[in-house]
Amino acid sequence: MKELLIKYKSVTRFVFTFLIVYAVLSIAYKFYLKFSEGSPFYPDYMTHIVAIQSQDLLDVVGYNARVIPHPDEPSMKLIVNGKYVARIIEGCNSVSIIILFVSFIVAFSGNLKETIIFVLSGSVLLYVVNLLRIVVLSIGLYHYPWRSNILHHVIFPGIIYGMVFLLWMFWANRFSKLTKKNE
C-alpha cells in the first residue's frame, strides 16, 4: 500500500487536497445557511440577491418580472409577466458549484497569485453564467412550460457544469504546477 501511495503521490495529494478543501468550504457554507435563518434576506442573502438580480435582468430584456418570498418553503417565487414560472431555491445561487470549482483549482494549484486570480475570476464568471442561465430558463419556462423537465434537468445543468469543466480543463492545461512539471 505504501508503494502505491508513493508511486501515485501527486494523485493522492490531489484527491486529499480536493476532499479537504471541499469539506471545509461545504461545512462553512452550511454554517452560513444555518446562521442566515431569520435574516432580513429571505431565504438567505445569496439566494435572495440571485433572485433580485434575475428579476432585474429579465426586466432589462423586456419581461415584467418580480420575485416574492414563497410562503410555504425557503425560496423565492419568480413571476414573469404575471405568470409564476419558477422558484429560486438555495441550490440556484451557484455557491455549491463555485465550491466545487474552487476545490478543484486549489487541489490542482498553480502559483499562489495565479490561483487566487483564477479562483476569483472563475467564480465571478460562474456566478454570471448562472444568472444568465436562470434568466434564459425562466424565459423558456414562460414560453414553453411543457418543456420544463428537459430545460431544468438536462440543458441548463449542462450549461453550468459544462462551464465548470471548461474552466477546469483550461486551468489544468495552462496554469497547474502538475502540468508544468510534466513539460
Residue 183 pLDDT exceeds 50: no
Q: Cβ distance 126 to 94 under 8 Å?
A: yes
74-131 pLDDT, tens digit each: 999 999 999 999 999 999 999 999 999 999 999 987 789 999 999 999 999 999 999 9
161-182 pLDDT, tens digit each: 999 999 999 998 887 665 555 4
The radius of gyration computed from the CA coordinates of the chain, to the nearest angstrom, equals 19
Q: What percent of the chain has pLDDT over 90?
A: 68
Q: What is the mean pLDDT of residues 49-75?
A: 95
Write down the residue that cell numbers 495552462 correspond to. Answer: 174
| Rounded alpha-carbon distances, angstroms, from residue 130 to 30, 38, 98 | 20, 26, 10
Q: Cβ distance 138 to 80 under 8 Å?
A: yes
74, 175, 58: which is closest to 66 by C-alpha? 58
1-32 pLDDT, tens digit each: 677 767 778 888 889 999 999 999 999 999 99
